[in-house]
């Protein structure tokens, strides 16, 4: 199956090179490209408004699940399918190997991403280029976020989260991986600060 990728050339050669490696990985895993209806849905919302600090305190007491803060309410995230998990693990491994010795580093889906309007999101993986505190639950200066689309979260990731991610000033790349085809779509911030895909 053909891999479609947009907008992989740019000024940041390190990230562009890493993205090309990621695209090759996705293209070579087409034998897994089938719909699996058993992927878990976004399952639970805790019906209590919380501040960001309350959310982080509360998250440290939870033994199961990952949570995002959406409009002041914690929202439990769906678990990943094995296929999506393999893509995320490969992307993190490739990014870690590629960025070794650089100030930027990959982060996992357990790391929150601060949205300027107040929400806290979790991507399937990302790259941060700030000076992260090891005890922090938030990415510091995220430069790239990657969402691996699934049947239950596809619309949320492609529309709502995408628009929220575009408001993060440090973000340069948003990568949406569609594992069923496989297809990768890259949104890249242009020099004029607008987004192109």
For residue 13, the model assigns a pLDDT of 56
Give the per-residue SS3 of the chain.
CCCCCCCCCCCCHHHHHHHHHHHHHHHCCHHHCCCCCCCCCCCCECCCCCCHHHHHHHHCCCCCCCEEEECCEEEECCCCCHHHHHHHHHHHHHHHHHHCCCCCEEEECCCEEECCCCCEECCCEEEECCCCCCCCCECCCEEEEEEECCCCCHHHHHHHHHHHHCCCCCCCEEEEEECCCCEEEEEEECCCCCEEC
For residue 40, the model assigns a pLDDT of 34
Q: Per-residue confidence of the chain (197 residues) as pLDDT tens digits?
A: 233 333 333 334 555 566 666 655 544 433 333 333 333 333 344 567 888 888 888 888 877 778 888 888 888 777 777 788 888 899 999 999 988 888 899 999 889 999 999 999 999 999 999 998 888 999 999 999 999 988 777 777 888 899 999 999 999 999 999 887 778 899 999 999 999 98
The structural domains of the chain, with segments of one domain joined by +, span: 13-33+80-196
For residue 49, the model assigns a pLDDT of 87
| Domain covering 13-33+80-196 in this structure, CATH number | 3.90.1570.10
Going by C-alpha positions, the residue among 170, 162, 152, 64 that lies closest to residue 121 is 162
């Amino acid at each position: 199956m053909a891999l479609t990728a947009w907008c992989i050339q740019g000024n940041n050669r390190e990230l562009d090179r890493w993205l090309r490696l990621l695209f090759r990985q996705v293209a070579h895993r087409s034998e897994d490209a089938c719909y699996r209806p058993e992927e878990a849905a976004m399952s639970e919302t805790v019906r209590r408004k919380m501040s960001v600090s309350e959310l982080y305190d509360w998250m440290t007491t939870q033994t199961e699940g990952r949570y995002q803060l959406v409009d002041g309410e914690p929202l439990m995230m769906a678990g990943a399918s094995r296929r999506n998990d393999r893509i995320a693990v490969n992307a993190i491994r490739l990014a870690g190997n590629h960025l070794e010795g650089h100030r930027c580093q990959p982060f996992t889906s357990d790391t929150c991403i601060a949205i300027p309007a107040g929400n806290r999101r979790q991507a399937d993986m990302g790259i941060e280029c700030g000076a992260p505190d090891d005890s922090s639950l938030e990415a510091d200066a995220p430069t790239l976020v990657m969402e691996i689309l699934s049947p239950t979260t596809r619309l949320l990731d492609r529309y709502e989260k995408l628009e929220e991610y575009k408001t993060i000033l440090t973000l340069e790349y948003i990568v949406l991986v569609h594992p069923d085809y496989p297809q990768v779509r890259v949104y890249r911030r242009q020099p004029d600060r607008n987004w192109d895909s």
